[in-house]
Amino acid sequence: MYDYSGLPEGLRNGMKRYVEDGIRPGGFLTACLENNLTGAVNRADATNLPRLQDIVRWLYNEAPGSCWGSVDQVHAWMDSEYMASRRPERLVHAQRPRHGSPPSQSLR
């Protein structure tokens, strides 16, 4: 369906689950999807930080435009009836924290 080969190997499954099933990925990938550069850099590991440009390029060229770009778009993607119908029942209620979640550690 989508070509995930442009992503770092360790992110491919998480991105596939998010794009195709609406399952929330980890913090780094979520920050990338939400267009949150500070969050992405703060959460990146040594493998993904140098590949940030490749990830953004993949989102722009491969991912559906409505699944990324802002917090609201990411939430709408995961909350859509279609995506909810594709998730296993055990994951429907274990999705994402709401907007008021505490921030992660700082860049210090």
Record the pTM: 0.78
Looking at residue 74, its pLDDT comes to 96
Which residues touch 22 (CB under 8 Å, ≥6 apart)? 77, 78, 79, 80, 82, 83, 84, 86, 87
| pLDDT recorded at residue 55 | 97
Q: What is the pLDDT of residue 108?
A: 44
- The per-residue pLDDT for 1 is 83
Report mean pLDDT in 10-residue bins for the chain, 108 residues.
94 96 95 98 96 97 96 93 71 49 47
One-letter amino acid of 20: E
Residue 36 CB coordination number (10 Å)? 17
Cite the DSSP H helix spans in the chain. Answer: 9-21, 27-33, 37-43, 52-61, 71-79, 81-86, 89-92
pLDDT value for 60: 97
Rounded distance, CA 102 to CA 58, Å?
A: 29
Torsion, CA 64, CA 70, CA 76, CA 78, rounded to 10: 70
pLDDT at 91: 53
Query: Which pLDDT score is estimated for 89?
Result: 61
| Domain boundaries defined on the chain | 4-85
